[in-house]
Amino acid sequence: MYVPSEVFFVSGVGRHRSRVASFERALRDAGIEPYNIVPVSSIFPPDAAVAEPHEGVEKLNAGQVVHAVMGRDTVEEGKASAAVGVARADEGHGYFVESDVTGDEAETLAREMVETSDSTGDVARSFNVEATAEAGDGYTTAVAAAVLVPPQSITDASP
């Protein structure tokens, strides 16, 4: 069974005349471009620790398939906004909310999910990570991500 042992949070902004290159630059700015990112839904594993980004990245390898909860917004005009809100319960699992709203709004939604869940306790901690940027020339992309770090035994496994 694969249950992430750690989670780290990053955000970034990218600009380019190409939509896809704008996204790549946002991933670079966030420090997560060398991974094959698979989007996942929004459950915070009950026993996962929150790691600093540099600690989480040290446990990953370039080209590795990495699961992440990711907020993403790409614009040509206006403001690009991406956020991941987090609420952890005092028992059981917590919730992530990925969105193109502000970090505070995503965090409020995550708190509501914990508060209305039958399988968790009260909110013990909540926070958010966000990226915002005004549009520039071409496309502007904002990303915010909760990157799930697999247990070390999976990361170290030989092919």
pLDDT digits (tens, 9 = 90+) for 104-134: 999 999 999 999 987 777 899 999 999 999 9
**CB-CB neighbours of 120 under 10 Å:** 22
User: Is the per-residue pLDDT at 71 higher than 90?
Assistant: yes
pLDDT for res 117: 87
pLDDT band at 96; cut points 50, 70, 90: very high
Its pTM stands at: 0.91
pLDDT band at 136; cut points 50, 70, 90: confident
Handedness of CA 23, 135, 83, 57 (dihedral sign): positive
**To which H or E segment does residue 57 belong?**
helix 53-57
pLDDT for res 97: 96
User: Is the per-residue pLDDT at 27 higher than 60?
Assistant: yes
Residues 38-62: what's their mean pLDDT? 94
pLDDT for res 154: 59
Cα torsion 117, 149, 64, 58 to 10°: value is 160
User: Is the per-residue pLDDT at 52 higher than 90?
Assistant: yes
pLDDT for res 122: 85
Is CATH 3.30.505.10 the classification given to domain 6-152? Answer: no
Q: By percentage, how much of the chain surpasses pLDDT 90?
A: 79
Q: Is-contact 67 38, C-beta < 8 A?
A: yes
- Domain limits of the chain? 6-152
- Dist CA 10 CA 79 (whole Å): 19
pLDDT for res 155: 54
